[in-house]
Amino acid sequence: MAVTKLNQQNNTRLKGIGSTQFRREIPLYFMLVPGIILVLIFSYGSMFGIIMAFQNFVPSSGFFDSKWVGLEHFKFMVQLPDFRNVLWNTFFIAMMKIAAGLLLPVTIAILLNEVMKQWYKRFIQVVIYAPYFLSWVILGGILFQLLSIDGIVNQFLGLFGVEPILFLGKPSIFPYVLVASDTWKNMGFNTIVFLAAITNVDPTLHEAGAIDGANRWKQIWNITLPGMFPIIILVATLSLGDILNAGFEQVLMLYGPALYKTGDIIDTYVYRIGLINGQYSFAAAVGLFKSMVSLVMVSLSYYLAYRLANYRIF
């Protein structure tokens, strides 16, 4: 009886604490209301437009009077040779960006961790992090100046007798320009993530390795990298959600009609077909297809992140 009475008293006390804390946090909940309203209007309310993918949408007729065609646009999409090429371009460019966005920042983070001069280390971090804050409109102009026929890069190559290269005009080179420029822009952010992972490695392990005769390279290979591995796995798995996001703003700023064969991705294809050519229903079908694939990949990435790195959202 005494134990039961004590448990009832504890439950009553916890309920009182919970209700007091809730009343204290009511202003914080009210602060969430504007954000929730915006999300409901612009993220969920706009999803009603998905119905266009199953109609021959005519703006003057609206959603309710446009002819219903079911899956016709999806069937037409699969049969188009252009769409298969666009799908491959998107997948190829995105995969290369994911790989480069992992390998280079991990390498830079390890090298920066070995730098003893703190002022030099901070300077390098600022230099590589600065492009992350620039938009692709600005970076696009910079790249046009650097990679043009008479730009700095071709002038430098000319010193070694190399003929000028059309970096932004040759289809076979353009995807690699996209990957290199995207990695240059984003590697500063990813480097900071991996530097934070290195700080979690127990320093006594390096001391023990040094006592056992391991040089710096062996310590990096056998201690630092294994210590970073959970974060590397986490970043890699979460990147799977972007498997069909090859960078709309970047591609739109840099490509032209001559580069559609290797540079056109799903987002730019939807932009051209939907907004420029006015085929709203077909563009909506392509966009919905991409969203469904992305949903599957995001779900898979979070499952893998939980299984491999014990990462959970909730």
The mean pLDDT of 114-129, rounded to a whole number, is 83
The mean pLDDT of 5-34, rounded to a whole number, is 68
Length of the chain: 314
Residue recorded with tokens 């995207």: 182
The mean pLDDT of 103-113, rounded to a whole number, is 87
Q: Does pLDDT of 11 surpass 60?
A: no
Q: Does pLDDT of 72 surpass 60?
A: yes
User: What's the mean per-residue pLDDT of the chain?
Assistant: 81
Q: Where are the domains of the chain?
A: 2-68, 73-309
CA dihedral 232, 236, 238, 240 (to 10 degrees): 180
**pTM of the model as a whole:** 0.78
pLDDT for residue 38: 92
Tokens of 169: 């005009």
* CATH fold of 73-309: MetI-like fold (1.10.3720)
DSSP letters spanning 19-82: HHHHHHHHHHHHHHHHHHHHHIIIIIGGGGGGGGGGEE--TTTHHHHSEE-TTHHHHHHHH-HH
Q: Does pLDDT of 313 surpass 80?
A: no
Q: Does pLDDT of 174 surpass 70?
A: yes
**pLDDT tens sequence across 229-283:** 878 877 877 777 677 777 788 888 888 888 888 888 888 888 888 777 778 888 8
Q: Confidence band (pLDDT; 50, 70, 90) for 18?
A: low
**pLDDT tens sequence across 278-300:** 788 888 888 888 888 878 877 87
Which of these ranges, 153-162, 263-272, 302-311, has the smallest mean pLDDT? Answer: 302-311
